[in-house]
């Protein structure tokens, strides 16, 4: 399998802006948001664009921008760049 190294470069805050949820009766409920990605995080992706281990997240399904590299060294360089 051909793996790629992806660095999270930006997270779209619009995907995290909705903090209110409603149950089936229309009654307002408390909604807790969990941060799924972190800027500078390095992910190893498979051919489908899904994380190969862990939670098997797929950045393209969320408001996450990534930079993809063939080598881990290049990904580390980009991760340092976006976090400093």
Q: How many angstroms separate the Cα of 51 from the Cα of each of 23, 31, 56, 59, 60?
A: 31, 26, 4, 8, 11
CB atoms within 10 A of CB 69: 18
Q: What is the mean pLDDT of residues 12-17?
A: 60
Please give the model's pTM, rounded to 2 decimal places. 0.74
Position 62 scores a pLDDT of 82
Position 19 scores a pLDDT of 44
Q: Tell me the per-residue pLDDT of 35-78, one tens digit each, with 9 for 90 and over.
A: 788 899 999 999 999 999 988 989 888 888 999 999 999 999 99
Query: What is the C-alpha separation between 50 and 64, in angstroms, rounded?
Result: 13
Position 16 scores a pLDDT of 52
What pLDDT band is residue 33 in, cutting at 50, 70 and 90?
Answer: low
């Amino acid at each position: 399998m051909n793996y790629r190294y992806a660095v999270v470069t930006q997270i779209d805050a619009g995907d995290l802006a909705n903090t209110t949820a409603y149950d089936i009766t229309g009654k307002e409920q408390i909604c807790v948001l969990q941060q799924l990605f972190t800027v500078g995080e390095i992910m190893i992706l498979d051919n489908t664009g899904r994380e190969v281990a862990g939670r098997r997240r797929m950045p393209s399904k969320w408001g996450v921008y990534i930079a993809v590299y063939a080598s881990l060294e290049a990904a580390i360089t980009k991760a340092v760049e976006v976090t400093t």
